[in-house]
Amino acid sequence: MIQRASMNTKFKKLSILKELIIDSLSYLYFNDISLKTYFTNNPITPKPLHRLEAPEFIEAAKFEKINEMNSYLNEDVNYLYEKDHFKQTALHWAAKRGYKDVVEKILSKGKSTNLFDNNNRTPMYLAVMNGHHHILEVISYCLNLLYIRYYLKILILNQ
């Protein structure tokens, strides 16, 4: 009996892993990104707060200061990929706090929607868990249906 439960757990983990791989590959496909391009031109920095003014950019997103964000993004669009010490990007903070205008601004400049924080949470996950369904709609507009399916399962499971 214990062996059967262990096999079921392993099967569930493999099933979830398979879904995540399919979702990730479909994200790359629908955004017209090759694996080679992703790994050679990846703008995601290896350490937090890589650019000099990254903390200010993330703070601007945290407190819905769109004009301040615009000035940073006009200087360098890769501020979108900067992360703080929790590995959260500006999009994570805006989604978590329900700032629709900030989320729209970030998504209009680039697609950094599937970055994970320290706890393996994406901006869409944070929006769902904090009850910001209007953010879910904005982000889902930018993603393909396979990627959204995963978050809808989470939403249904948590009801």
pTM for the model stands at: 0.62
Rounded distance between C-alpha atoms, residue 22 and residue 5, angstroms: 26
DSSP code of 130? T
Q: How many CA atoms lie within 13 A of 159 on its CB side?
A: 8
Nearest CA-CA partner of 85 in 123, 47, 119, 45? 47
What's residue 71's pLDDT? 92
Q: Which two tokens stand for residue 36?
A: 């080679």
What's residue 117's pLDDT? 86
Q: Which fold has domain 45-157?
A: 1.25.40
What's residue 146's pLDDT? 43
Residues of the chain with pLDDT under 50: 145-146
Q: 121 Cβ partners below 8 Å, 6+ apart?
A: 92, 129
Rounded distance between C-alpha atoms, residue 149 and residue 159, angstroms: 16
Angle at which helices 90-97 and 133-142 cross, to 10°: 140
What's residue 145's pLDDT? 45
What's residue 136's pLDDT? 85
